[in-house]
Chains A and B, each alone.
Chain A
């Protein structure tokens, strides 16, 4: 059942549930930060509107820098600002930043330990019609593999705002992952958010399967959990919003108790949240695991709904994966 201590959206399972893209929360959070902290600056690579940097640019023109279509320069300029007392947020589509500029992020931000916040937008396959070139499915892997880096994947627009605010308080490089499409609002303004602390969104008595997800697709895991509940199969849904550092304590405790895991993410099943969970569990409590995500292929154009269905990230697929996992437990 929904965890009441988190003050989640009570209309979560209504068909009329409120929807908003997580990038909106980033835009709101950035403006709030601009008001609170004069050292926060923003850079964008010719995508001001769709990355939601536009309100910050409008309110704080002196602290906004348009770098043009030049993601490598954006990352390294931010690195220079970050070692000079500023808190730069850089924004572009995740396939370009941290895609195109991975090495600049590695050397000048991560190794250099510069206080830069990287906002990767339009992540996951649900970007839709733009097609595979614009669907970032590798960014969690390429960011979490870097030393010094924190990786946060907010579950909805509210959490995206809180994650943006929190990023400014984390000293050092942070990667924030946002999505384009409107997705259900899962949390409320009262829901707490602490980076590095997984949230138990759903928990039933005698759970048979543990779902661990990140990003808006966690909603599908919740729908799957509800479907299983109707079939009298209990489960737990963990929102692992912080992929790095992973909340190992919570993960291991639930995995030990339940005995099988399904990871759910809009990312390649190689190297993403699924990989992080497997790395942790194989060390502390080896657990059968099923992976929901992109199965080592590229995406294509289509509506988000059609794509999630075709590439087996739909509620039906998650339910099936759960049953496979339970059999293996």
Chain B
């Protein structure tokens, strides 16, 4: 994995802002969608699609590509924006989200758009699918890695823990799970709905390599992905502490914005903030991180 030089860091910052604007425009235009998680994961998706993943948007079925599986399919606006901006399909198509005859389904469907590796929406089965892909890589002696994004709320699904057991049992070191730890779900805070903590301890006790990062710090994201690629006897989970709705002040950390429709005025205000940040080149990564990079060996 390439080191993260200053010019690349600046590029990622501005691309993440661009993707956030795409997300707000898409969801406002569609009249429904899930903005909280989409905005919160923008920095991670940007880093994956523009720095970490070995992929070729002109050859979406290249056999040796790294796989990226989105388990919590409802945050697909950020996936669609990432795919379009990296060249899988025309950016203009983003405005067709959730409309009739569109390739951009309300939840992602493999085969409807190039670059989508799995169908998801119902929560809890993405980690299993990613484990299957990592097993296939091992059987075929291929070196591609499988990255899977999971939400924290979906860890309430039993299927996740079946996959956590399975991946450790088969020592799937080609597998990197990234948990969007934003602490919110539809009905409220995760810790009041159904507590998940201590999440890091849980994964460690299941035999995983665990890294905790600030999910808005590009250096953390790159370093944790590089670290996971260097682990050869276990799967890795990156618990990314993120802020739901990141980048739009009235949405940040508010569970009600998990999937609340924008009013026209709210969408305009959100876009204005994001554009303002872009012009000022406001740098989230220059702020002190809210979470330390912690590798649990």
Query: Which residues of A from 64 to 100 have beta carbons under 8 Å from B?
Result: 65, 67-68, 70, 72-73, 75-86, 88
| B119 and A76 within 8 A (CB) | no
Question: In the complex the two chains form, is A86's CB within 8 Å of B159's CB?
Answer: no
Q: Across the two chains, which residue of chain A brings its CB closest to B144?
A: A84
With both chains docked as a complex, state the minimum distance between the C-beta of A313 and any C-beta of chain B, in angstroms.
36
Pair B166/A73 contact, Cβ less than 8 Å: yes
Query: Are B125 and A84 touching (Cβ within 8 A)?
Result: no
Q: A80-B129, A107-B125 are in contact. Are A85 and B136 (CB under 8 A)?
A: yes
Decide if A104 is an interface residue (CB 8 Å cutoff): yes
Contacting pair A70 B136 (CB below 8 A): no
Q: Which stretch, B30-38, B50-58, B110-118, B192-200, touches the partner chain A?
A: B110-118
Contacts of B163 in A (CB 8 A): 73, 76-77
Whether B135 pairs with A77 at a CB distance below 8 angstroms is yes
Task: Give B118-135 interface residues, CB cut-off 8 Å to A.
Answer: 118-122, 124-126, 128-135
- CB–CB A79/B158 < 8 A: no
B165 close to A (CB within 8 Å): yes
- Looking at chain B's contact residues, is the secondary structure mostly helix, strand, loop, or mixed? helix
Contacts of B118 in A (CB 8 A): 79-80, 83, 108, 112
**Judging by beta carbons under 8 Å apart, are B132 and A80 in contact?**
yes
Which B residues are CB-close (under 8 A) to A296? none
Closest approach, in angstroms, between the C-beta of A115 and any C-beta of chain B?
11
A interface majority secondary structure: helix
| Interface core residue of A78, A80, A107 (most chain B CB under 10 Å) | A80
Asked whether, in the complex, the Cβ of A77 is within 8 Å of the Cβ of B128, the reply is yes
Q: Are A76 and B139 in contact (CB under 8 A)?
A: no
Whether B201 is near chain A, meaning CB under 8 Å from some CB there, is no
Is A113 in the interface zone, CB < 8 Å from B? yes
The answer, yes or no, to whether B137 is at the interface (CB within 8 Å) is yes
Q: Does B101 make an interface contact (CB < 8 A)? A: no
Shortest CB–CB separation between residue B270 and chain A, in angstroms? 31
Cβ-defined contact, B132 with A104, below 8 A: no
Chain B interface: which size bin?
A: 35 or more
Contact mask for chain B residues 87-124; partner A; CB cutoff 8 A; 1 contact, 0 none:
00000000000000000000001110000011111101
Contact residues in A for B162 (Cβ distance below 8 Å): 67-68, 70, 72-73
User: In the bound complex, do residue A63 and residue B130 qualify as a contact, i.e. CB atoms below 8 Å apart?
Assistant: no
Q: Is B170 an interface residue (CB 8 A)?
A: yes
Q: Does A111 contact B (CB under 8 A)?
A: yes
Closest to A80 in B: B132
Q: B140 contacts the other chain (Cβ, under 8 Å)?
A: yes
Partner of A67, one of B133, B136, B166: B166
Question: Chain A residues with Cβ under 8 A from B170's Cβ?
Answer: 65
Query: Is the CB of A62 closer than 8 A to any CB of chain B?
Result: yes
Nearest A residue to B133 via CB reads A80
A77 touches B121 (CB 8 A): no
- Please report the C-alpha to C-alpha distance between residue A123 and residue B170 in the assembled complex, in whole angstroms: 31
A interface residues, Cβ below 8 angstroms from B: 41, 62-63, 65, 67-68, 70, 72-73, 75-86, 88, 103-104, 107-108, 111-113
Which 4 A-B pairs rank lowest in CB-CB distance, beginning with the nearest? A80-B132, A76-B128, A84-B136, A73-B162
